[in-house]
Amino acid sequence: MYNCHDDILAYQNEEVTLPEKEREEMRDRRDTNRNRLENGLQNDGEPAPSGFQSQGSYAHRTMVQHPEKDYDIDDGVYFWKDDLKGPRGGDKSARDAKEMVREALDDERFKNPPKVRTNCVRVYYDAGYHVDIPVYRKVKTEEDIWDDEDIYYEIASSDWKESDPVEVTRWFNEENKRQSPDTTNGRQLRRQTRLNKAFARSRESWRPRIATGFMITTLLVNECYKSSEEREDKALYDAMVAMRNRLNNNLEIDHPTVQGEKLTKGPDDAKTRFLREKLDWAIDELQVLFEQDCTHEEALKAWDKVFNTDFFSSRLKDTDNEEETNNNSGGITSGRRTPDRFVDKRGGGRYA
């Protein structure tokens, strides 16, 4: 396989990973939204939250860049179950709890008012991003013979159902440490998660049809990630093949921390089927990397096509311009690209 380790790593660093400045801006928006919710609940005479918890790709640090800054932040709000009571003293339904949060967040300055969705309340902002606010209740269990009590969490979905997003974040972070062969730049499993999510979001027309970021993350972490300490490109290709093969056998994906729960809708899930189709296409496009006479230009064009970008080819142009500058300034250059680090040449132009 032609070695594009440096190119894939550069793409991940420059075009995929969310810049720290944008993370800080999102954190500021998140905090502003929390304040708006707390003030709105107080003004409405509703119970105060017991806390907030960022979750999902923001908490995992696997968010990827989007040209229109169409980012979503998942920021759960928590209430004690005993505080969520209806007008007659009964427990608030999941729908009523979400409606309570929606009303508290509503602001006449919003062009689009917040909306109740299946698993959250969504707040839309003119800048193109939105904040998803899952609503949780904290439930105390009965005290046992040692006077101990446990707390578990339920999300307001179509009904109240057990869910603990902190457990998901803990799962991802622990697996990232355990499986990654390195300890720098976020570790490889996190980088590979971003790259595969970036591929899945590389065309706007794919976005509503393809597997969610959580589905892709779960597939990678639990089954399909193949570490490669010296080859970021090989780790990416191997993961794509592993995911495609896995989905050929089974389109369903289990929730990583909730036993018996599926992330997919049935054995012929449309989103994972679409992901499989696009992985199959990408793998076919990348076969040029295995040809004996594959050139650097051909390899970069293949990655350009897969990610729907010109980033990789532009790196080749930058290299050519640098060599031309060296020649014009009297520098000596062979005119040939030397193999990347960690390359084992196996005859011709094929690298592994």
In whole angstroms, what is the distance from residue 179 CA to residue 231 CA?
Answer: 15
Q: Are strands 135-140 and 72-80 parallel, antiparallel or unpaired?
A: parallel
Are 193 and 216 within 8 A, CB to CB?
A: yes
Q: What is the CATH number of domain 17-164?
A: 3.30.460.90
Residue 333 has pLDDT above 70, yes or no: no
User: Model confidence at 330, in pLDDT bands (50, 70, 90)?
Assistant: very low
| Nearest Cα to Cα of residue 70 among 175, 207, 190, 256 | 207
In whole angstroms, what is the distance from residue 243 CA to residue 235 CA?
Answer: 12
Helices assigned H by DSSP within the chain = 5-11, 20-43, 56-60, 94-105, 165-179, 188-200, 213-219, 232-249, 270-285, 296-307, 311-328
Per-residue pLDDT tens for 192-241? Answer: 999 999 999 999 999 999 999 999 999 999 999 999 999 999 999 999 99
Residue 343 has pLDDT above 80, yes or no: no
Which pair of structure tokens corresponds to residue 323?
Answer: 């060599």
Residue 318 has pLDDT above 90, yes or no: no
Lowest mean pLDDT among 136-150, 169-183, 259-273: 136-150
User: Model confidence at 92, in pLDDT bands (50, 70, 90)?
Assistant: very high
Are 255 and 271 within 8 A, CB to CB?
A: no
Tell me the chain's radius of gyration from C-alpha atoms. 24
Are 77 and 132 within 8 A, CB to CB?
A: no
Phi, psi of 351 (to 5 degrees): -125, 150
Query: Residue 33 carries which side chain, given as an amino acid letter?
Result: N
Environment class of residue 183 by beta-carbon count within 10 Å: exposed (0-12), middle (13-18) or buried (19+)?
exposed
In whole angstroms, what is the distance from residue 68 CA to residue 130 CA?
Answer: 12
Per-residue pLDDT tens for 119-138? Answer: 999 998 877 788 999 999 99
Residue 332 has pLDDT above 60, yes or no: no
Query: What pLDDT, on a 0 to 100 scale, did the predictor assign at position 108?
Result: 85
Residue 16: DSSP 8-state: I
Overall average pLDDT of the 248-259 stretch: 96
Query: What pLDDT, on a 0 to 100 scale, did the predictor assign at position 322?
Result: 53
The pTM of the full predicted model, rounded to 2 decimals, is: 0.85
Residue 352 has pLDDT above 80, yes or no: no
Q: Please give the share of the chain, as a percent, with pLDDT higher than 90.
A: 76
The 3-class secondary structure across 206-261, one letter per residue, is CCCCCCCHHHHHHHHHHHHCCCCCCCHHHHHHHHHHHHHHHHHHCCCCECCCCCCC
Overall average pLDDT of the 148-159 stretch: 90
Overall average pLDDT of the 8-12 stretch: 98
Question: Taking the domains of the chain in order of start, what are their residue ranges?
Answer: 17-164
Which pair of structure tokens corresponds to residue 47?
Answer: 């119970």
User: Model confidence at 320, in pLDDT bands (50, 70, 90)?
Assistant: low
Which pair of structure tokens corresponds to residue 331?
Answer: 């520098």
Secondary structure (3-state) at 96: helix
